[in-house]
Amino acid sequence: MMRIEGAFTALITPFSPDGERPDLDRLRANVEAQAKAGIHGVVPCGTTGETPTLEPDEYATVVETVVEQAHALKLLAIPGAGSNSTRHAVEQHRFAHSLRADAALHVNPYYNRPSQEGLFRHFMTIADACDLPIVLYNIPGRTGVLMTFETVRRLAAHPNIVAIKDATGGVDLASQIAAETDLVVLSGDDPLTLPLAAIGGRGVISVASNLVPGLVADLVRAILSGDFDQARTFHQGLLPIARALLTLDSNPVPVKTALRLAGRDSGVVRLPLCEMAPEAVERLRSTLVQSEVLSPALVTMS
C-alpha cells in the first residue's frame, strides 16, 4: 500500500455562473494546473468542494471526472467520501473504490455528535467495507465532535486506515499521533503545515493550493527533503495568503473570490454560502497584491 504524503489540493467545485451545475471544464483545468505546479494529489468533494450542496449525481460526476483526470496526469486522487450516515459513507467509499481512487477521505460524522465508541464503529465499518485506504479527517470546528487520541490509536490498528488529516487548530493531538502510531499526519490547515512538520507531519491537504499550488508544493517539498530553512521561507510567503483564505469568510468563499480576482473565475458558491462582503473582498485583494499573487493592474473586480 502506497504511503500517502505530500502536497494535496482540497479542490473547489467550479459551478456555472448561475450555480445550476458543476463546470467540469474548469474542474479539469484546475486539476491540470495542480499537476503542472508539482502538487502530489487532489481531493475532490471535501469541505472546500461544497459537497453538502451537491446532488448525488453531481457528486458522482465530480468524483469520476477528477479521478480520471488525476490519474491521466499521474496525480493521486483521494475523494471525500464521508457522511454522517455510516451506510452512506460506506456506499461512497465503495464508489471511490470502484473508480480505482487511491484512497478516500472520511470526516467525523457531523451533526449527530457520536460518542468515541460511535466514531470508532463508524470508521471501522467503512474500513471493513472494501480494500481502499482511508484518510481520517478530524475537524471538530465543522463537525462538532473531536476524535480523541485513544480512538485514533484504536483505528490505526486497521490496515486500511493509513493517514489522518488534522484540522484541530493545534499540534498537541497530531504530535501524539505521529509519535505513537504509524499513521501519516497531514495538515488540514495551511498555516499549520510547517509547525506540524516539526512534530512529524508529512504534508497538507491544502485550500490555498487552489490559488498558489506552486508555493504549497515548494513548501512541502522542502519539508520532505528536510530543508527547514527553505521551508520557513515558503511558509512566511504562504502565511498571509492562507490566513486570508481561511478567516475572511467561510471556506471556500474566499478562495473562490480570490480565483475570480485572479481571472480564474470558478463560478458562484451555492446557498447557504453567499458572496463576500465588499470590505472583505477589498481586504483579500490587498493581501493578494501585497503577497505578489496579483498584480494591481490585472485584478478583476467584476
Angle at 130 between CA 57 and CA 147, to 5 degrees: 85
Residue 267 lies in a domain: no
Name 8's bridge partners: 41, 205
Active site residues: 137, 165
Residue 16 within any structural domain of the chain: yes
pLDDT at 301: 46
* Structural domain count of the chain: 1
- Provide the pLDDT for residue 266: 82
- Asked, for residue 43, whether it belongs to a domain, the answer is yes
CATH code of the domain containing 127: 3.20.20.70
Is the residue at 271 inside a domain?
no
Long-range contacts (CB closer than 8 Å, 24 or more residues apart) made by 84-90: 84/109, 84/110, 84/111, 84/112, 85/109, 86/121, 86/122, 86/125, 86/126, 89/122, 89/126, 90/125, 90/126, 90/129
Question: Residue 26 and residue 193: Cα distance in Å, rounded?
Answer: 27
pLDDT at 296: 75
Instruction: Please give the pLDDT value at position 3.
Output: 83
pTM over 0.75: yes
> Is residue 280, in this structure, part of any structural domain at all?
no
Examine residue 275 and state whether it is found in any structural domain, yes or no. Answer: no
Structural domain harbouring 160: 6-230
Q: Is residue 152 part of a domain?
A: yes
Residues whose CB is less than 8 angstroms from the CB of residue 114 and which lie 6 or more positions away in sequence, other chains included:
122, 145
pLDDT at 267: 81
Q: Give the pLDDT confidence score for residue 10 in this predicted structure.
A: 98
Q: How many CA atoms lie within 13 A of 135 on its CB side?
A: 33
DSSP 196-208: HHHTT--EEEESG
Q: What pLDDT tens digit does each residue of the chain (302 aa) get?
A: 678 999 999 999 999 999 999 999 999 999 999 999 999 999 999 999 999 999 999 999 999 999 999 999 999 999 999 999 999 999 999 999 999 999 999 999 999 999 999 999 999 999 999 999 999 999 999 999 999 999 999 999 999 999 999 999 999 999 999 999 999 999 999 999 999 999 999 999 999 999 999 999 999 999 999 999 999 999 999 999 999 999 999 999 999 999 999 999 888 999 999 999 999 999 999 999 999 998 776 554 44
